[in-house]
């Protein structure tokens, strides 16, 4: 099954991107990525920029509402996502537990809605 890991990172962890050379957090991420790929669990993923570059758009009564910042306020910031292909949700949760961001942030695992994907994509 495919699922997405939404990776919420603490401010301190996000800061380590500024000087990635010596940061153990970044080294742990490199190793984590290798292990994911080697185990055949990795499909794709991207880190998201850490600055205040998030903007949320809504349409209410035909009018645009544009808001600085993320959709939901949280102490941690959505710092990236990874799409996994794993045998079970439990296997996905195992990977979430191993994620370096899980120590001071949090990792949300959501199964991908394959049926709805097909409804949208199908001609």
Partner 1 sequence: MEEAHRTVETVARASYGRLLAYLSSETHDVAGAEDALSDALIAALTSWPKDGVPRQPEAWLLTAARHRLIDQARRRRVRHELEGTVRHLAAERAATALTGNTFPDRRAELLFVCAHPAIDPGLHTPLMLQTVLGLDAARIAQAFLVPPATMGQRLVRAKRKIREAGLPFEVPPDDELPQRLDAVLEAIYAAYGLGRDDAAGIDAGAQDLADEAVWLARVVRQRMPEEPEVRGLLALMLFNDARRAARRTPDGRYVPLSDQDPASWSEPAILEAETELSEAAKVARIGRFQLEAAIQSVHAERAHTGRTDWTALVMFYEHLVRLAPTLGARVAQAATVAEAQGPGAGLALLDAIDRVSVATYQPFWAVSAHLLRQVGNHAGAAEAYDRAIGLTEDPAARQFLLERRG
15 vs 108, which CB is nearer to partner 1?
A: 108
Binding of residue 40 to partner 1 (CB under 8 A): yes
Q: Which two tokens stand for residue 89?
A: 């949700």
Of 19, 26, 7, whose CA–CA distance to 84 is shortest?
7
Report strand pairing: 2-9 vs 77-85. Answer: antiparallel
Nearer to partner 1, 48 or 93 (CB): 93
Q: Does 12 bind partner 1 (CB under 8 A)?
A: no
Q: What number of CA atoms fall less than 13 Å from residue 100's CA on the CB side?
A: 20
By CB under 8 A, is residue 84 in contact with partner 1?
Answer: no
- Give me the residues that bind partner 1 (CB under 8 A), please: 24, 27-28, 30-36, 38-40, 89-91, 93-94, 97-98, 100, 103
């Amino acid at each position: 099954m495919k699922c997405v890991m939404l990776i919420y990172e603490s401010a301190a962890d996000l800061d380590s991107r500024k000087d990635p050379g010596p940061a153990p957090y970044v080294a742990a991420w490199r190793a984590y990525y290798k292990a994911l790929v080697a185990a055949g669990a990795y499909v794709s993923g991207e880190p998201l920029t850490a600055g205040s570059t998030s903007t949320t758009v809504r349409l209410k009564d035909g009018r645009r509402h544009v808001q600085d910042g993320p959709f939901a306020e949280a102490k941690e910031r959505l710092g990236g996502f990874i799409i996994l292909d794993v045998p079970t949700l439990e296997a996905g949760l195992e990977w979430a537990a191993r994620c370096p961001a899980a120590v001071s942030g949090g990792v949300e695992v959501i199964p991908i809605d394959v049926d709805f994907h097909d409804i949208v994509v199908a001609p």
